A and B are shown apart, each in its own frame.
Chain A
Amino acid sequence: MNSLLLGGLAVGIIFGFALQRGRFCMNSAFRDIITLEDFTLLKSVGAAILVTMLGFTIMSQTGAITLNPKPLFWGANMVGGFIFGIGMVLAGGCASGITYRVGEGMVGSLVAVIGLATAGTLTAMGFLKPIKDFLQSSTKIVAGEGINMTLANWLGLSHATVAYSIIVLAVILWWIFGRKNEDEVEQSDKSWAERIFKQGWNWWATGIVIGIVEMIAYLSSAAAGRNYPLGITAGWITIVKVGLPGVEASMNWVAWLVLGIIVGAAIASLIANEFKIRVPKGGVLLQIFIGSLLMGFGAVTSAGCNVTHILSGIPMLSLGSLLGGLFIVLGAWVTAWWMFVRPMQ
């Protein structure tokens, strides 16, 4: 096996460990705001995006990486993102959330991964492909020949100017408005090892670690010939293709990454004594499966799941990722309101 592809497995193991320790799930992050009025995971996501944005900008300025923002096809980004958002609430986890929870022993998440991979493959190369192709080609807007739309080139500014402005602005806004709502940090007398391996991580620690994983991922992935940082759905689709008879495909960096996530999360949950085979009831399994099919279709149509768009794409200022990410959040909110808030009123 190509040793560069092993980088995907190694990065995946670290990523999976961080996801499990940080309980990092974007479905929860966005949904909790309206269902439980809880902002903790949202702050983790925000911190991860900012750390990643800072890292990518410095790395691109020093020539360590070449930014590769996803294209803007507004129709596909909106429709795909919204459907993905609906799906992840039904499935009980985003693309990274369902992947890491397989490593915790959650059978429901395994069902979700199968659904995501199945519908993703059918949209990438099966009978759903014409819908995706139509939505993408009919609404594609580019900044120039081979140049994808970003917030920077849309505003006519450099990537670094826009990125640093966003980071500074976000920190200032946080300092003024966010800080006072912060719960007091409990003084812990526990050892560092216990805090890393046994307890769930603080939101900011999770955000910083995931941001650093993104940077390592970009270098490792680019070295293996895939010029993009973290992603999930493409990895699962690759694994399905490898297993399909008559389809030429081989394991690539992102396919090893998703397998690594499961291994990393399993290691983390075993150390923390949180591993357990858990099986939801039949009706819930059906709900999860339907949700994950929507996720697979949505992710491929929008050219990205929550990780590709929100975690990796927004730091590159891709307009397609910003729009796709926004519609993932909207889809999740509408569904969470319908399923959880409305029945409680």
Chain B
Amino acid sequence: MTEEVVVTKTVDVRGEICPYPDMKTMVALKKMKKGEVLEVLMDYPLSIERIPRSLKKKKHNLLSVVQVEGPDHRLLIEAFGLK
């Protein structure tokens, strides 16, 4: 990405067990306004593969998935905004 997006909120779900990484991400997105960006720090392989499918269903926009180190990933998600 050329320009740095403004992160509205950060959710750190590293170390959490299944399915908390997904659920906490989805709950956070549900509370956000359209266009706001959620940063998620995640280290659970299953969730990193599953979350793009869940986001698609709820029409949230996955901006990027960056591997930080090992299983640690940083996800940026633009909320669809249900409110």
Contacts and interface: CB of A to CB of B under 8 A. Distances in A.
Interface string B14-26: 1111111011001
Contacts of B26: 36, 344
Contact of B18 (A25, A183, A275): A25
B83 interface: no
Nearest to A272: B45
Given A104-B45, A340-B23, A288 B17 contact: yes
A94 B44 CA distance: 16
A200 B73 CA distance: 15
Contacts of A35: 19, 22-23
Contacts of B14: 278
Main secondary structure of the interface of B (DSSP, over half): helix
A106 B50 contact: no
Given A274-B71, A278-B14, A23 B45 contact: yes
B27 interface: yes
Given A32-B50, A35-B23, A280 B17 contact: yes
A58 interface: no
B70 A276 contact: yes
B3 interface: no
B33 to A, nearest CB: 18
B19 A280 contact: no
Contacts of B17: 92-93, 106, 108-109, 280, 284, 288
B54 interface: yes
B53 interface: yes
A109 B54 CA distance: 24
Contact of B53 (A27, A38, A108): A38
A108 B49 CA distance: 21
B18 A27 contact: yes
Contacts of A200: 45-46, 49
B19 A31 contact: yes
Given A28-B46, A38-B54, A200-B49, A275 B19 contact: no
A40 B49 CA distance: 11
B13 to A, nearest CB: 10
Contacts of B54: 36-38
Interface string A277-301: 0111100100010000000000000
A340 B54 CA distance: 15
Interface of A: 23, 25, 27-28, 31-32, 35-38, 40, 92-93, 97, 104, 106, 108-109, 183, 200, 269, 272-276, 278-281, 284, 288, 340, 344
